[in-house]
Each structure stands twice: as structure tokens, then as C-alpha cells.
Structure 1
Amino acid sequence: MVRVLTLSGVSVVREGNTILDSLDWTVDSDDRWVILGPNGAGKTTLLKLASASMHPSAGTVEILGEQLGRVDVFELRPRIGFASSAMARQIPNDETVEDAVLTAAYSITGRWNEEYEDVDRRRAERVLKEWRLESLRGRRFGTLSDGEQKRVQIGRSVMTDPELLLLDEPAASLDLGAREELVQLLGDYASSPEAPGMIMVTHHVEEIPRGFTHALLLAEGRIHAAGPISEVVTGERLSDAFGLPLVVSTSEDGRYAARALQL
């Protein structure tokens, strides 16, 4: 077990608005964290810090043993896998699925004249198989469904065997079938002892895959609760954070569901 992320007294202030306020949080390599909270709670900002895409206004952020502000982030970022809708917009619509995954080896989007080693091609083949993309390898990214594009994004993010994997609302906008397929794939990946430390932001407890071990509940830029997932994803905790009486249930396979009490 290795410490992959440490936040100490971290705050983020933009234009006089406090987005994150005095956060202390640690993530280990065998942790799989889900981040929940209302809109505007600071969830995506927290991922930007963890991806070395943003520096804090106060406090320290250590990622994979390196402190932001004292490390070349361009050397650090390739060690971090990050899948988000913002990243997806950087993939050219005419890029093939195979190349969209393969180019992650150079941390670029858009195949040019670069040369790839056999190890890169073997990794790409493994990713295409694991994320059910083999039949799509020759398709253009812009022709894919939302669910297919999400799988390509995640495939890119794991292509380089990252030491930390960040997922920003990976199931957002998907229909029921595509969501369940992706959640199942993520659950298989999270349950593997070879997977890196994982942090996933979501708005819906139904999207939490099996295999996730911890939960962080944000509200108004502060940590409302953090710890083992069974202790945080509860009706009481979520009701307090969202300001609405909620009931949380758990299925036999460890999946969560939430609904509001009749007002």
C-alpha cells in the first residue's frame, strides 16, 4: 500500500469565492473512492487538484509522492489517468478508436507521425479487449454513442497503467443499458488488486460500482463526511448534505440506490 494523494489544509478561492475550504484528505493505492455532493460542492475542483491541473490557493497537495509547486507537472501528469467530458472534447472526431487509445502512450490526442513500440500496441490491445472496444477499433470517435465514447475515454486513461485513476462523472448522460454496462466494467476493474488508487465523482449513488471502498461527501466546499463507503453513503449523511430527507438501500451485490421520502 502506497499513499497516492494527500491534501493538507487545502483551500481553493476564485474571484473571492471559496470553492474548497481547508480540506484534509488522504488516498492510498488500494483505495477506491467515490466523491458525492450537491452541485457546486467542489467535486470537480477537487479532481483538478488531484490531476495536477490546478494549484491550491492555500495548503499543500502531494500526488504520488510529489508536492504541487515543487514538481514538473508535465512529468507528473502522465502517471495519472484522467477521464472526463472535457478530456473527451480534445479527441478529434475523425480519430479511430484504436488510435484514440494508442495515442495515450504519448499523452496526446490526434495521431500524427509518432512511432509506437510493441509494448504500447500490446497495451492498446489489452485495453480494447477489457473495455469491450475490439469491435469498434476502426470506428471514428465522432460516430460513437455516448456510452462508447465513455469507454474510449476510460480506455485512454488506463492505457499507460497509471498509478492514480480519476473519473469525472463517467456515467453521466448515459441511458440505462449503457450506464449498467459501464458500471459493471468499472466494478470489475476496481475489484482487481492490480488496479491503481481510484477516485470517481458522481451525482448518483446508483452509479457507484462494486469494489469501491470509501466515500467522500462534500457540501459547500467542505468535507461533510469521509470514510468507509458503508458509513458515509447512508440516508442520514446524504440527507444532511443535500438538505432533503433521503432513504438509501443496498442490494445484495453491493449496489446503492437512493430516493426521497414523501414530503
Structure 2
Amino acid sequence: MVLHMENVSLKRDGAWILQNVSWDIKKGEHWVLFGLNGSGKTAILNMLNAFHFPSNGQVTVLGKKFGKTYLGEELRKRIGFVSSALQEKLHQHDNAFEIVLSGAFASIGLYDRPTDRMRERAIDLLKQLGCFEYANRNYNTLSQGEKQRVLIGRALMAEPELLIFDEPTNGLDFIAREQLLDTIQAIAQRPDSPTMIYVTHHVEEILPVFNKTLLLKKGQVFSAGNTEKMISSQQLSEFFNIPVTVFWQNDRPFISR
């Protein structure tokens, strides 16, 4: 079991952010975490990375039970994290190669000396992700799409068991978005792919490889199960409280009113 959440609630500043959330993810599954802004998606991600601890309930991530074992940097090394919000925290004058290398230490910036093996892996990832040509360019000179590819390389650097994409297409144009989604699909199809969670509020970004979906609404699980059932006209009409129509094209869902 990669993730086990049982009746998890989270209270911050006197308000309940999450209430009675239960969610199980098995090794090799690829899930979508779908919810509108303010639904509690970020709170769940902070919990998975051991930045928040539950006010009530039980959380176990990669065999580490919250409250029973030391959590923190060692757990985060086993979790790859790709998020537009992370871009702001990185050292903007580090080059792409250094950004990817820092993933080996789950650190912002390079403070330890990388091994030769780490350097070789970083170069290999840059080549696989089509980033090698700008490996020596400062991060702040890259386009948004290039930055996200570098972040994926950073996330894969430590060979994570769980890979999380948090709204990774924010700020991308249509072409850059589709290129990034193709990259994510390719990663998921590898035999050694980590378990993946894709967080979004855009239905059209749900790739065929994500065959499980959890619908999160106002801090509670609205429903969870097979993606085709969750992302349906009936289910989403109830979820949004407005009538919508879901149609599928090339194994991807699209929504209209």
C-alpha cells in the first residue's frame, strides 16, 4: 500500500480543511485527485509530504505511519513532487543541471557534493526529457514548459516510489501543455514507473493512464473509483451542482454545458 488515509480530518486556524477523508492507493496505481479551488487538494498534498499532520484519523505513506515513525526529509526523498508553486522556491540562478541534481537530496539548492552516479543520472534524465540542450542555462531564463520538464527531472532524480503532479500545466499554452502531458503519459507507461497522483481541476488533462479518480469537494471525498465512472455526465453534474455533459475523445474526457 502506497497510501492509506482513514477518516482523516485536518483543522487549521479553527476551521476544518479536511473532514473524514479515506483514501487507499496501491502500488502501481495511477490516480487523479480532482477538485475545484479550495476543495482541500493542497492540504492533502502537504499531508503526504509530512508538512501537515492529521487532527484526527490515520495516515500511512509508503509504510510510514504518522505519529509512529520519524517523518520528514527521508520520506520526501521517496516522493517526487512537480508543482508550479515549487518554481518560486528554487534558486533562480542555478542552472537546469543543478536543479535536477538537487532532487537527489530533496533540497532547494545544492549543498552536498553529488556523486558521479548522481551526475550521470541527472544527465540521463535531462536527455530523456528533452532538456539536455539547455542544461547549462539558468533556471530563470527558461520558458514555463522548460521549467516544468526540469522539475520532472528533479522529481525523478531520487527514483521515487510516489510521483505527484500538482496542477503541472498552470501557465502553459496549448502546445506546451500537450507536450508535457505526453511526457507524463510516457513516464507512466514505463515498467519501472512510480505510483502517480495527478492533481487538477481541468477534466481535459486526465490522461488514459490515470484509471482511478478521487473527487474532492469542500474537504470531503465526494466519490472515488474508476475514472470512467467518476468522470461521467451524471457524476460531475452532481459534483458541480449544475448539468454538464462529458464526452470522450482519444480516451480523454472533455466537458461542456
Pairwise same-fold verdict (TM > 0.5): yes
- Shifted more, 192-201 versus 67-76: the winner is 67-76
Q: Equivalent residue of 2:2, what SS?
A: strand
Residue 190 of structure 1, aligned match among 188, 206, 223: 188
Structure 1 partner of 2:123: 125
Residue 219 of structure 1, aligned match among 213, 217, 220: 217
Residue 253 of structure 2, aligned match among 233, 247, 256: 256
Structure 1 partner of 2:86: 87
C-alpha contact 2:215 2:230 (8 A) present in aligned 1 = yes
C-alpha contact 1:51 1:82 (8 A) present in aligned 2 = no
Tell me the matched-pair count.
Answer: 256
C-alpha contact 2:247 2:255 (8 A) present in aligned 1 = yes
C-alpha contact 2:84 2:170 (8 A) present in aligned 1 = no
TM-score, scaled to structure 2: 0.95
> Offset at 1:130?
2.1
Distance 1:129 1:28 in 2: 30
Distance 2:38 2:62 in 1: 27
Residue 100 (structure 1) aligned with residue 106 (structure 2) = no
Matches within 5 A, 1:97-246: 97-112=96-111, 114-246=112-244
| AA partner of residue 35 (structure 1) | L
Distance 2:79 2:3 in 1: 11
Distance 1:52 1:37 in 2: 21
TM-score, scaled to structure 1: 0.93
> Offset at 1:258?
1.1
Structure 2 residues not aligned, in runs of 5+: none
Structure 1 partner of 2:63: 65
CA gap 1:132/1:203 in 2 versus in 1, 3 angstroms: same
| AA partner of residue 233 (structure 1) | I
| AA partner of residue 209 (structure 2) | G
Distance 1:13 1:240 in 2: 26
Distance 2:117 2:240 in 1: 47
Q: Equivalent residue of 1:106, what SS?
A: coil
Q: Equivalent residue of 1:105, what SS?
A: coil
Q: Equivalent residue of 2:103, what SS?
A: helix
Q: Equivalent residue of 2:175, what SS?
A: helix
Distance 2:84 2:40 in 1: 17
C-alpha contact 2:5 2:59 (8 A) present in aligned 1 = yes
Distance 1:69 1:155 in 2: 31
Distance 2:191 2:29 in 1: 10
Q: Equivalent residue of 1:186, what SS?
A: helix
> Offset at 1:70?
2.0
Structure 1 residues not aligned, in runs of 5+: none
- Shifted more, 75-84 versus 54-63: the winner is 75-84
Deviations 1:33-80 (A, max 9, x none): 011112211111111111222111110110111111222222211111
Distance 1:173 1:115 in 2: 33
C-alpha contact 1:37 1:242 (8 A) present in aligned 2 = no
C-alpha contact 1:38 1:241 (8 A) present in aligned 2 = no
The CA RMSD over aligned residues, in Å, is: 1.3
> Offset at 1:17?
1.6
C-alpha contact 2:148 2:168 (8 A) present in aligned 1 = yes
Q: Equivalent residue of 1:179, what SS?
A: helix
| AA partner of residue 197 (structure 2) | I
Q: Equivalent residue of 1:198, what SS?
A: strand
| AA partner of residue 257 (structure 1) | F
Structure 2 partner of 1:9: 7
Q: Equivalent residue of 2:94, what SS?
A: coil
> Offset at 1:239?
1.5
| AA partner of residue 2 (structure 2) | V
C-alpha contact 1:169 1:202 (8 A) present in aligned 2 = yes
